[in-house]
Amino acid sequence: MTWSYLLKRLAMFVAVVLLAITVNFIVPRLAPGDPTAAVLEQLLSRGQQVEGSQDIVAAYRARFGLDEPILLQYGRYLLNTARFDLGSSISYFPQKVESAIVSALPWTIGLLAVATVISFGLGSLLGALIAWPGSPRFLKSLSPALMVLSAIPYYLLALIILYLLAIWTGWFPLGGAYSQIPQRFDPSTLWDLAYHAFLPALSIVLAGVGFWALGMRGAMINVLGEDYLTLAEAKGLPKGRIFFAYAVRNAMLPQVTSLAIALGTAASGSVLVEVAFNYPGIGYLLYNALRSSDYFLIQGVAFFLVLTVALSVLILDLIYPLLDPRIQRR
């Protein structure tokens, strides 16, 4: 990997994040009026008298720095964001936005990231096997089932799973991430966490596996027509080696691109899974923030999501030359 490639990717990352922050800064300010005035007007319209409303607006504008020149506000905002100072949450006041995100983060990473990776691995392998001419017949018949699975929305799947495995049979808990707040990491705590994570993870894996399998199957079918597979066979290589080292290896490239994006959007994409299972992750946090119009928290989570997408694309860019040596020349 060359230094110029590395620097280009890093610059790209910074540019994307900066752009996202800027949009995050501008959009609320495009709305007419200002927040304090809006609240006051609401009170006025209900017939309540507010003494010196003009002064209150001015005082709040000064308090939040809204009376300063726009560029100064922007600079201050950038500086705060760079220090991960995202302001205070309204609904969880006085908790800071960043601490709310940080406390939700481990749950999301532990559940969504792991489930997405499992789904990706399982789906890709299944898709590859379905496309492979030498695989057993029953695998090929899985294709329609996977297609159906990929068409069912994951939140619906979550509800079905919840009904079947938690309500009907009672094998699994209805929701939450733990029986009691974990104090220390010992086997029984881990078991309890896994026990609670199983159903949400299952719904994410099941909902994703069809998508990954179909994508991989398509990529494999393209690769199967390639001369290099015929050559690999003409070389007298064992079947398994042709499958993994040539067919899967080449078909994986587009899959890995999708994985980076899927990991980045996992938090926002699976909001409803966390909601359905009452799982205290980023998605659940976002859901609550939206319900309580907690603008700072919404903004903070949005910033965080942009950051994760940009970060996973950066990581992808950095490992891509290892997967496909043709990339860094371009």
Partner 1 sequence: MNSSLTVKNLRTYFFVDEGIVKAVDGVDLTVGEAETVGVIGESGCGKSVMARSLLRLVVPPGEIVDGSAVLRRKDGSQVDIFSAPPSAEMLREIRGNEMSMVFQEPMTAFSPVHTVGFQISEMVAAHSRMSRKENREYVIDLLRRVGISNPAQRYDEYTYQLSGGMRQRAMIAMAISCSPKIIIADEPTTALDVTIQAQILDLMKELQRQNNMALVYITHDLGLVAENVDRVYVMYLGRVVEVGATRDIFVNPLHPYTQKLLQAVPRLAERQERLAAIEGTVPSALNPPAQCPFFSRCDKAMPGTCDRAIPALTTQAGREVRCFLYSQEQEATNDWQF
Binding site for partner 1 (CB under 8 A): 133-134, 226-228, 230-239, 241, 245-246, 249-250, 253, 323-326, 329
Say if residues 216 and 128 touch (Cβ distance below 8 Å).
Answer: yes
DSSP bridge pairs for 96? 88
- In the complex, least distance from residue 259 CB atom to partner 1, rounded to whole angstroms: 17
- Name which of 184 and 330 has its Cβ closer to partner 1: 330
Alpha helix (H) residue ranges in the chain: 3-30, 35-45, 53-63, 70-82, 97-108, 114-131, 137-140, 142-151, 154-161, 187-224, 227-234, 239-241, 249-269, 271-276, 282-291, 295-323
- Name which of 69 and 238 has its Cβ closer to partner 1: 238
- Name which of 147 and 224 has its Cβ closer to partner 1: 224
Coil, strand or helix at 96? strand
- In the complex, least distance from residue 134 CB atom to partner 1, rounded to whole angstroms: 8
Q: How far apart are the first and last CA of the chain?
A: 12
Q: What distance in Å separates the CA atoms of residue 220 and residue 128, rounded to the nearest whole number?
A: 6
- Name which of 30 and 234 has its Cβ closer to partner 1: 234
- Name which of 46 and 326 has its Cβ closer to partner 1: 326
- In the complex, least distance from residue 22 CB atom to partner 1, rounded to whole angstroms: 38
- In the complex, least distance from residue 317 CB atom to partner 1, rounded to whole angstroms: 17
Structure-token pair, residue 147: 């297609």
Say if residues 291 and 282 touch (Cβ distance below 8 Å).
Answer: no
Structure-token match 């499958």, residue found: 243
- Report how far Cα 325 is from the mean position of its chain's Cα atoms: 28
- In the complex, least distance from residue 190 CB atom to partner 1, rounded to whole angstroms: 38
- In the complex, least distance from residue 329 CB atom to partner 1, rounded to whole angstroms: 8
Coil, strand or helix at 88? strand
- Name which of 99 and 135 has its Cβ closer to partner 1: 135
